[in-house]
Amino acid sequence: MDLFLASAAGNVFGYLWVDEVKDCTGSDWAKVLCPRGRGFGLDGLFLMQRPEKGPWILEHWDTDGAKSFCSNGSRAALVVPGAPQAALLEVISNGEHILLRRRGQDVGIHMPEGEGFGLRSVPLAMDLPAGFGWIGNPQLVLRVASVADVDLPVFAPPLRHHAAIPGGTNVNVIEVIAPGEAKIRSWERGVEGETLCCGTGCAVAAAWLAHTDGPSEWRLHTASGEDVSVTLVPEAGGGWRDLWLSGPVRRLGHVQPDPSLRP
């Protein structure tokens, strides 16, 4: 069984073809292959259907074995050997209908939109300017003076597990440094730690900034040192249209997990 490795904006994901996975679930494999120290230190695991007519099917699991929509991992799937080669591709990733687009070394993802997706009322009282949105997963965004000065392991977990948000939320802090340009750090549920770039967090952060600050194009500087760009058309009521997140992806290679790692 080959485990393919690819990265997007610094986050590293594992990919397995579903027809090569025997007897065990994606959740089982994620809990074995992802954790640092015991596994490969992955930010998530994907099972991929073989490309056929119609949308390409992807399923993603976090390191704790929970299923979740993952935009960066969906983008990086395009560099896995055997992935479809179209410049623009219809995909269903964890049940969400998206598009993937190749442009040079970058891959863009057209985020889910329509009923149920968009900005919502912030469900808890905050001392900082804050936004909250659903984009296939929940995202809390807080504007701070300096992302570098935030002690994220202390600051984020109480918000990540807050009782006002059933199931919890991802937590993002942003620092606007110029019109259409900001720094961002993210604490992701499922990973239960800071990741180098949360793609869905970047998308919701940019959507919130577009509604509050005006520009509908944002360049976000992530903790990976790589930038991602977000463009969208804000809509009344906190919705969005044509929300694209784009950034670099890389093929890292593949490994054959030791038999002792079998769930």
Structure confidence by residue, pLDDT tens digits, 192-223: 999 999 999 999 999 999 999 789 999 999 99
The domain boundary residue, chosen from 66, 96, 112: 112
Same domain, 106 and 129: no
Which residue from 163, 156, 116 is spatially nearest to 140, judged by alpha carbons? Answer: 156
- 3-state secondary structure string, 188-228? ECCCCEEECCCHHHHHHHHHHHHHHHCCCEEEEECCCCCEE
pTM: 0.92
Domain shared by 140 and 196, yes or no: yes
Do both 135 and 165 map to the same domain? yes
- Residue 23 above 80 pLDDT? no
Give the domain CATH number at 173.
3.10.310.10
Of the three residues 60, 86, 112, the one that is the final residue of a domain is 112
Same domain? For 108 and 123 the reply is: no
Do 180 and 214 lie in one domain? The reply is yes
**Tens of pLDDT, residues 91-130:** 999 999 999 999 988 999 999 999 999 999 999 999 999 9
User: Which pLDDT score is estimated for 24?
Assistant: 81
- Assigned domain for 258 exists: no
Containing structural domain, residue 128 = 118-249
Structural domain tally of the chain? 2
Considering the domain architecture, whether residues 157 and 93 belong to the same structural domain is answered as no
Are 51 and 25 in contact by the 8 Å Cβ rule? The answer is: no
